[in-house]
Amino acid sequence: MFSIGLTGGIGSGKTQVADWLAQWGAALIDTDQIAHELTAPAGEAIAPLRRAFGEAAIAADGRLDRAWMRQHAFADPAVRHRLEAVLHPLIDAAVTARAARARGAYLVYVVPLLVESGRWRARVDRICVVDCDPATQVARVRARSGLTPETIERIMSAQASRESRLAVADDVILNDGATDLAALRGRTWACHQAWCRQASRSPDGRAIHD
């Protein structure tokens, strides 16, 4: 299937964009959602995470203690790399299995760390970045999560810079502080229409109905 890698920094609005694309007929594979499933109680990642980090990393209900992990992973790159070594192979396996079953106008991979991983350029036909300025990111994340500005800044510093994301983008959907929901929806719809047209073409670029 024709595929899009959809990414953006924390608070950029990529989840809203992805929700619209799914409503309009795209097949959606969200790597963050997969990570949550893997780290839920009895999730496939819980046992290896317990071995890697000990009981302190597991909440009383059996899920990954995300607050504990956030505190340690964003303060210590070695902890973050150990976490990624556990989760990434499991996420990749789930993504591959779901992609084989996907049906839709085209396929969207929602990958928060697409740029950081360095592995997605060859996997997708186009990369779309939902873009906003850092101040807007901080304000949105504070409003929805209650995290402190310092914690948000640590998370953002562990992600690719705005410039790095834009450098790899084939398409950009601007969602800065001046963008209202109607404008964001319109920009997303324009990309969706373009991707539907591209998805209807054969690999050599000729329209299938020609």
Domain ranges across the chain: 3-199
Asked whether the whole model's pTM tops 0.85, one would answer yes
Give me the pLDDT at residue 132, please. Answer: 93
pLDDT over 60 (residue 196): yes
- CB count, 10 Å around CB of 187? 18
* CATH 3.40.50.1370 holds for 3-199: no
pLDDT over 90 (residue 95): yes
- CB count, 10 Å around CB of 191? 19
Q: Token pair for residue 185?
A: 């929806």
Higher pLDDT, 61 or 113: 61
pLDDT over 80 (residue 206): no
Give me the pLDDT at residue 203, please. Answer: 56
Q: Token pair for residue 150?
A: 């310092």
Ramachandran region, residue 170 (left: φ > 0; alpha: ψ -120 to 50; beta: rest): alpha
Report residue 138's pLDDT band, with 50, 70 and 90 as the boundaries: confident
Mean pLDDT to the nearest integer, 192-201: 95
DSSP E strands in 67-165: the ranges are: 107-110, 126-131
pLDDT over 60 (residue 210): no
Give me the pLDDT at residue 202, please. Answer: 47
Q: What burial letters (b/e) apply to 55-69, b meaning 16+ CB within 10 Å?
A: eebbeeeebbbeeeb
Residue with tokens 């504990």: 68
pLDDT above 70 coverage of the chain, percent = 96
Report the candidate in 75, 203, 83, 93 with the shortest Cα–Cα distance to residue 150: 75
DSSP E strands in 2-140: the ranges are: 3-7, 27-30, 107-110, 126-131
| Average pLDDT of every residue of the chain | 91
- CB count, 10 Å around CB of 8? 29
Distance CA 15, CA 7 (A): 9
Report residue 205's pLDDT band, with 50, 70 and 90 as the boundaries: very low
Report the candidate in 205, 183, 168 with the shortest Cα–Cα distance to residue 4: 168
Helices (H), 106-170: 114-117, 134-145, 149-158, 162-168
Distance CA 141, CA 108 (A): 24
- Beta-strand relationship, 27-30 and 3-7: unpaired
Report residue 119's pLDDT band, with 50, 70 and 90 as the boundaries: confident
Q: Token pair for residue 54?
A: 């000990």
Residue with tokens 């790399």: 81
